[in-house]
Structure 1
Amino acid sequence: MSMERTRVRMLASIGWLGLLAIGVCACATPQLPEVSPATKRELVSGEALFGTEVAPADPIAIQNTSPEMERFLAPLFEIDSRRERLRQLVRHLAEVGLLNARYDERLTLSAAATLEAKAGNCLSYTNMFVTLARRLGLRARFQRVAVPPTWGIDGDLLIRSNHINAVVPNMRNTGLGQEFVMDFNYVAPESSHERWLVTDAHAFALMYANLSVDALMRGQQREAFAWLKRTLIEDPDNADHWVNLGVIYARAGATDLAEAAFTLAYRMTWRRQSAMAGLATLYRQTGDAERAHYYEEKIRRLRARDPFYHLAIGRAAYDKGAYEDALPSFRRAIQLRPRTGVFHFMKGLALLRLGDDKRGLRGLRMATRYGQVDDYALRYRSDLEEFLDVDADDPNARTIARVSSGFDLYERPGFAETRID
């Protein structure tokens, strides 16, 4: 079985743009405060922010089946072979359009709602597949994949997106290899990327965390807190969730509680970048320059080596029309990872916007050479088409048309057709 994949994202943790002002480290390792059980209880209460304790959001029926799901699966129940059952499930998903459905990164739905709406985000579609596969007796699991994170910016929030997929292990003697991976992603994760199975509680908590982040982006603080409280009930050991709690407190000016939440996150995992980002920004805002310098320098070193972080900063400038400001970020991303097409693509667009057709076209050619940029071509389709909408006798116009033909501009975003060999 081979699949065309479409790029998807999952909201995971929040930072602040204030962290972009980096200082120089000039201090020894600062001591973080101890977080007592009483302080931890106060953190998850919400009373300090809202005057009364915030009840957790009601759980949603994440994997409950519906009559529509049963009808969808009915033709598959009589198949004896696990291999054929799995193959026919994927084929059936393609036939009804669920592998070419609407992708909405802010739409987190249960399995039944995703099937009914034919819409959702990465986590929604992955959960739908896991639910359907399990209903057919297949041992489907959630799997996290350590792909380089993508970054997005929304107001004063810096949002890091990660990746999750579904795996059906122990598929020996099925013709599908040791395991079957269902990945709703345009670009298949590289085999070198670390991956690990996660519990249902971990995956469900990520869904609730998505709902919390979405509420925060809408300015609904109490709703965001309620969803995050539900998140922590499901999975209290994921440091990202405590970082998000720290951001909520910090934005409300509750600095002591924000520090406590970031400290808990920092001590939970060696993947401390988000927690350090929160501490750095918090200390900078409260005037603790020495501690701020320490964490800012650690963050600077980490982010300086992250090409996708530079891509996000460049895109934020580009989307505001600051094309000159965007170029250094795209160039730095290329220096760090020269064979990644999206960096050349964005650099090429910025140069075209600045009137440098020769170097802009060179950037687009490099993007087509390295590939895996169709999702960006779709996102910036109007930009490309603007350059195509010029005098057809202009040699530059013809060159741009030839280069742009390397991008899939006219397929709408969504899951591509699945081929079953």
Structure 2
Amino acid sequence: MKRIVCPLLMLCLLLGLARTSLAASPPSADEILRLPPEMVERLQTEIAGVALSPERRVDLLVEFISEQGGFGFQYQASPTFSVRETVFQARGNCLSFTLLFISAARALGIEAHAREVRVPLAWRQDEDLIFDVGHVNVGVETPGSRKTVDFDPDFLRSQRLASPYRGRRVSDERMLAHFYNNRAAELLGEARIELAAEWVAQAIALDPGFAPAYNTAGVIERRLGRPERARAQFQRALELAEDPAPTLFNLVLLERSQGRPRAAEDHARHLTGLRPSDPWFQWALGRFYEDLSELDRARRFHLRAIELNDDEPRFHRSLARVLYELGQEAEAARALARAAGLDASSEASRQQASLDKHKGPD
């Protein structure tokens, strides 16, 4: 499988928190994917008119959807735009660019679909509510090959994300459910809670098996002061989720806020037993308990992450922060020094990768 990396895009935040105004009501699926006539004309003239083979058309389309390309698009983490909005704003996040690329490819007669990609557990936190963070990219099939188009600026990371085993093909319904769910989370970031509920309802209606939408619905219900409904939505998310961790984080927070320490501890026990050999998950647990001011527990998880992977500077920085709060300043300084050394080594590797990527033929 060939891997194509579009250089302008940053990390994809499927549940980034918006700080800009969003449309008032959910558009139809057709509206989300519709290309503006001006772009259709350019695609036909500047790509279809000069390239007959599907493979060459894909390469030209990648060039067009880049900062240096014909459309000059730029990355912006949020809000998540429809295809038309992405074109006219000339910016978007990775889901926005995935939608745009798929619509443009199909207009050129190329089969393209979205891929959900497994990434280390991460989240975005707004006050005391947890949102999933994930990644999507594009699968392209032509008569002669299969390709993956990934929108990530880190060359080494994008190579990993484009690997076949890291992702799976998903339906248009699932892809669009991601879109509606993103917008719901972004509206929550604007405190437009009732409107967010409309958007997440659309995600669930389109794909009733999409667990992250129920997680978002639970967050909305909690914001509306309806803990029983929130609990029911979180439980439904758990029934559907391949990875229950994001919902378990929210359930721990919900039960603690409702004065139910036993239920909270049950969920915490489930959570902490999920992936004991995954350093990124251990780090996520450490940050979670750090936010809850349970510093001794946070320290244990950060130390476990480092035991599993001593070469990640973020693990050492997190440990240093917790150690400092615990008054262990000498140990904190050593952890910071280790992080700084790893940062320097990582930057050198990134620079070398960039040189290798742009190096011309010998």
1:64 paired residue among 12, 26, 34: 34
Q: What residue number does 2:84 align with?
A: 112
Q: Give the secondary-structure state (helix, strand or coil) at the position aligned to 1:62.
A: helix
2:108 paired residue among 121, 131, 136: 136
CA distance in 2, matches of 1:312, 1:182: 28
Contact 1:350/1:360 (8 A) holds in 2: no
CA distance in 2, matches of 1:349, 1:418: 37
Q: What residue number does 1:181 align with?
A: 148
Q: Give the secondary-structure state (helix, strand or coil) at the position aligned to 1:338.
A: coil
Q: What residue number does 1:40 align with?
A: none
1:125 paired to 2:97: yes
Contact 1:242/1:261 (8 A) holds in 2: yes
Amino acid corresponding to residue 93 of structure 2 in structure 1: N
1:277 paired residue among 239, 249, 261: 249
CA distance in 2, matches of 1:305, 1:218: 37
CA distance in 1, matches of 2:52, 2:232: 54
Alpha-carbon shift at residue 184 of structure 1 (Å): 0.6
Amino acid corresponding to residue 77 of structure 1 in structure 2: A
CA distance in 2, matches of 1:340, 1:57: 41
Amino acid corresponding to residue 34 of structure 2 in structure 1: N
1:367 paired residue among 343, 356, 359: 343
Q: Give the secondary-structure state (helix, strand or coil) at the position aligned to 2:306.
A: helix
Compared CA separation, residues 351 and 264, structure 1 to 2 (3 A): closer
CA distance in 1, matches of 2:246, 2:89: 34
Amino acid corresponding to residue 214 of structure 1 in structure 2: E
Amino acid corresponding to residue 40 of structure 2 in structure 1: E
1:301 paired to 2:273: yes
Compared CA separation, residues 132 and 345, structure 1 to 2 (3 A): farther
CA distance in 2, matches of 1:295, 1:350: 23
Q: What residue number does 2:10 align with?
A: 7
Q: Give the secondary-structure state (helix, strand or coil) at the position aligned to 1:182.
A: strand
1:255-404 equivalences under 5 Å are 255-302=227-274, 307-308=279-280, 311=283, 331-340=303-312, 342-343=314-315, 360-369=336-345, 371=346
Q: What residue number does 2:180 align with?
A: 208
Amino acid corresponding to residue 367 of structure 1 in structure 2: D
Contact 1:146/1:162 (8 A) holds in 2: yes
1:194 paired to 2:197: no
1:75 paired residue among 23, 31, 46: 46
Worse-matched range after superposition: 110-119 or 297-306: 297-306
Which runs of 5 or more structure 1 residues have no equivalent in the other structure? 15-54, 173-177, 320-324, 375-404, 412-416
Alpha-carbon shift at residue 347 of structure 1 (Å): 6.8
Q: Give the secondary-structure state (helix, strand or coil) at the position aligned to 1:137.
A: coil
Contact 2:14/2:95 (8 A) holds in 1: no
Contact 2:55/2:142 (8 A) holds in 1: no
TM-score normalised by the chain length of structure 2: 0.75
Amino acid corresponding to residue 76 of structure 1 in structure 2: I
Amino acid corresponding to residue 150 of structure 2 in structure 1: D
Compared CA separation, residues 66 and 295, structure 1 to 2 (3 A): same
Compared CA separation, residues 406 and 99, structure 1 to 2 (3 A): farther
Contact 2:177/2:210 (8 A) holds in 1: no
Amino acid corresponding to residue 179 of structure 1 in structure 2: R
Q: Give the secondary-structure state (helix, strand or coil) at the position aligned to 2:209.
A: coil
Alpha-carbon shift at residue 170 of structure 1 (Å): 4.7
Worse-matched range after superposition: 97-106 or 114-123: 97-106
Which runs of 5 or more structure 2 residues have no equivalent in the other structure? 18-23, 292-296
Compared CA separation, residues 255 and 419, structure 1 to 2 (3 A): farther
CA distance in 2, matches of 1:339, 1:292: 33
CA distance in 2, matches of 1:359, 1:245: 39
Q: Give the secondary-structure state (helix, strand or coil) at the position aligned to 1:299.
A: helix
Contact 1:151/1:309 (8 A) holds in 2: no
Amino acid corresponding to residue 47 of structure 2 in structure 1: L
Contact 2:289/2:298 (8 A) holds in 1: yes
Contact 1:145/1:165 (8 A) holds in 2: yes
Structure 1 vs Structure 2 CA RMSD: 4.0
